[in-house]
Each structure stands twice: as C-alpha cells, then as structure tokens.
Chain A
Amino acid sequence: MIGIVDYGMGNLFSVSKGLERLGADSFISDDPEELSKATGIILPGVGSFRDAMSLLEKQKLDEFLKKYVAGGGYLLGICLGMQLLFDESEENGPAKGLSLIPGKVVRFTGMDANEMTYKVPHMGWNRLEFKHVSPVIEGLEEEHVYFVHSYYADTDESYITASATYDVEVPAIVGKGNVFGMQFHPEKSGQMGMSLLKNYLTLVEGKGEA
C-alpha cells in the first residue's frame, strides 16, 4: 500500500489515479501515523519550495519522512517533491530541505553560454539520458517524459540515474539508497511514466514480501 503525502500542495489526484491505473492500492494522508503504515511513500508537489517545507514542518511530516527513510522505507519524490529531498533551495531566498540527498536546488538562468536567452520554465517533453543503473529504470529505454519546472537540483553525478538536456544537464531521476526522485511528472508522461512508476511499485512490493 503506497502512502501519498498530502501537505496541501500538489496534484495528488493525478498521482493516485496513475497508481490506480497500475492496479496499485494507495491512500492520501497528512498524518504521520497513518503514513507510517505504508509500504512505500510518494511525496508529490507543485508550488514553491519554501511554502512546501513550512507546511511539511507544520504537520511534522519532515521528521516523519526522515525517520521513515532511516528505517529503510522507500520514498519517491516527484517534481517539487524531488527538490525537497535536497539540502536547500534558492527559490524565494534560501530555504532548507529534507537533506536526504546532498545537493542544492537552483534556478535555470534563462541565458546560455552564448548569452542567448531560453525559456523558463523548462516545460514539455524531453528525452531521458540514462547515467547509472537503477531498479527504477530497469528494462526501460531512453524515452521522453513531461517536465514543468523552473528550478533544478545541482547534485553530485553519482546520485543522478537519468538526466535531460536543457541548457544544463538537468537531473531527471535521482537516487540514494532507498530514496528516489523524479523531476518530471511520471503520472503525466504517458506509457514511459507509467513504466517508471511500475518499477518503483515493484521495488516497494519486493520489500513488502521480505
């Protein structure tokens, strides 16, 4: 049973519907006690980093997530939910994150090396480039997925499972131990997105049986 963290931000409905299409049971909750019963957690999110962190803190969900992960539980952050996994973000002034993966969330400059401007947000379908093996990309090819974001994670390449090119190398799938993040929206990325979510579910289920 997947627990989807509800902290008042993000498109929970489409994430839970995506899981439903895969035949997975899920529940949405803002209660750490309820969520602790989940076999795996998804942290969705759309909106600003600072607001999201203060809402998580208010519900003591930040502590819960850290404890859950330390206990070996699987966590997948999607979009803003992935950015929250890092140490800090420069969005609306520096704000602390969950520090589950080392790195910092920074804004696209909107200006490339040749001083040509480019569009921000990075919005639309971009192709994944696989960097490291990971159970979440197992059996999959480098397909397009749907991105919408103005900030990206600046992190060590050892944590980058897949990236996409948009002026810089944008970390698209990150992972560290039992913590995973997807900068794009797998629930909005057609068949490829569904396959990625399925791989995460398989991973979580495997743990459930152990």
Chain B
Amino acid sequence: MLTKRIIPCLDVKDGRVVKGIQFVSLRDAGDPVELAAFYDQEGADELVFLDISASHEGRETIVDVVQAVAGSLAIPFTVGGGINSLADMKKILRAGADKVSLNTAAVLRPDLINEGSDYFGAQCIVIAIDARYDEELGSWRVYTHGGRKPTEWEVIDWAKEAVTRGAGEILLTSMDCDGEKQGFNIALTKAVSEAVSVPVIASGGAGNAEHFQEAFEEGKADAGLAASIFHYKETSVKEVKTFLKQQGVVVR
C-alpha cells in the first residue's frame, strides 16, 4: 500500500538554506547538503528546495546546490523557484533533481507545462498553486508572484487545466492558513484532491502531527509539506510519523 508522504521544505537563498538556524547540532546550518542528510535520517520521504534568491547571480547557484544534494541524498527531491523555461528545467533536472515545481511561470504561459511534461514526463512536473479564498469568487483564487498577484484563475479550474496539460503532481499552498499553525486548509485540499487524478501535496498551516492526519484522512492529501515547524524543531518528521502510525495512517 502506498504510504502518505511527509515533506520538509527548505528555502534556499544564494545557494544557502535560510531559516535553518535551530539546528545547532549541525556544523553548518546553512549547508543544503547537511540539512538534506539530516532530514533523510529523520525519515523524510522527500524534500522540496525552494529557491528564493532575488538576483540572477543568486539563482545561478541553485544548480550547484542541486548537484551537491543529488550526490549525497538517497531520497527524491523537488526544486522550485525561478524556473521559467524548458532550459531552466533541463538545467535543474540534469543536475540531479527528481522534479521541478512551476508556479508563476506556468500561469503566465501554461504551454510550459506541456513542454516540460512532453520532454521529461509528467512525473517530473509539479505545479505549485498558491490559493487564497475569495468572497467575490465564492471559491479559492490562484495567486502568483509569491502570493502578491491575484490571477483570473479559480484554483480547481487551474489545477484541472494543469493536469490536462501534463502536471504529475499538485503542490497546494493555502495562503489563508500559511504561517498560522492551525492546521492545513482541509476544505481546499479535499476539493482539489477530489478534482484531479494526480497526487496532491497539502501545504500551509501545519502546526503539529494531528494536522497531518487531518490532511490525509479528511483532506484526502497524498503528502503533507511543512517548513518552519520542522526547522524550528516544534516537532520532527520522526515524531509526526510515529504519531501517524499509531493512528493507523500508513507511513514509511
């Protein structure tokens, strides 16, 4: 039986992991390779690296990060942030990443999904969606540019469109819940997961192990992603998985 996945997300800026400061046991808390190894040992099922570099020079360093991580990590990882073209995808995937995640670039030019999927296969293409509830729309709206720009897309429509175009997975972040630590957005996660045929990763709002259980059982998510609660050791991947096992959720 397929297990539910727990995925820590690491923000990378100019080739260094930021927000990794609580790992005092590490020699270098900003080293992507060390942090990746740490999460691998903790039982993480997969990792996501999000490049938040602002400059072109900063973004160039992500390729080195990917190569270094791929050389030492024996679990899959996804890289997102600043990927705007098929050439960018080639660079990242050839450097050893297993998947790329597209967000703004895919909304601006949806053909990018087809191009990536045709070239590398759907399993390599993750579509990241930033969603916020919209009263006027009576549903969730897709935001781009790091959550700053509202788009014309309703989330479920966009998720379906992305899958039709060849997305192999949806990384769904609730902007309403993100950072609140009150749990994932169950209604949103369930709505998207039931609307598409590909796996959905719930993101935004994880505060404890119970929240993952909710996302899997009620939200129908296939995986749960979190950043700060793992980085700041409010809980650990190991703790979350032990709890899930006790609750009868199948995990690795």
Interface residues of A in 23-53 (CB under 8 A from B): 46-48
Nearest first, the 6 A-B pairs at minimum CB distance are A13-B96, A148-B123, A144-B252, A125-B252, A125-B3, A47-B121
In the complex, what's the smallest C-beta–C-beta distance from B212 to chain A, in angstroms?
Answer: 15
Interface centre among A126, A185, A188, A194 (most CB of B within 10 A): A188
Q: Which residue of B lies closest to A118 (CB)?
A: B197
Q: Which residue of A lies closest to B119 (CB)?
A: A47
A11 at the interface (CB under 8 A from B): yes
- Selecting from B24-32, B70-78, B129-137, the interface stretch reads B70-78
Interface residues of A in 95-146 (CB under 8 A from B): 110, 117, 119-127, 144, 146
| Residues in B whose Cβ lies below 8 Å from that of A150 | 122-123
| Residues in A whose Cβ lies below 8 Å from that of B11 | none
Total interface residues on B, CB under 8 Å, equals: 33
Given contacts A121-B123, A127-B1, A144-B3, contact A11 B198 (CB under 8 A): no
Find out whether the CB atom of B74 lies under 8 angstroms from the CB atom of A191: yes
Interface of A is mostly: mixed
Interface residues of B in 87-114 (CB under 8 A from A): 93-96, 98
- Across the interface, B168 reaches (CB within 8 A) one of A14, A123, A187, A194, namely A123
In the complex, what's the smallest C-beta–C-beta distance from B192 to chain A, in angstroms?
Answer: 12
A127 to B1: give the CA distance in the assembly, Å. Answer: 7
In the complex, what's the smallest C-beta–C-beta distance from B34 to chain A, in angstroms?
Answer: 16
B54 at the interface (CB under 8 A from A): no
B169 at the interface (CB under 8 A from A): yes
Q: Which residue of A lies closest to B96 (CB)?
A: A13
B5 at the interface (CB under 8 A from A): yes
Interface residues of B in 53-86 (CB under 8 A from A): 67, 70-72, 74-76
A124 to B46: give the CA distance in the assembly, Å. Answer: 9
| Residues in B whose Cβ lies below 8 Å from that of A185 | 76
Interface residues of B in 3-43 (CB under 8 A from A): 3-5, 40
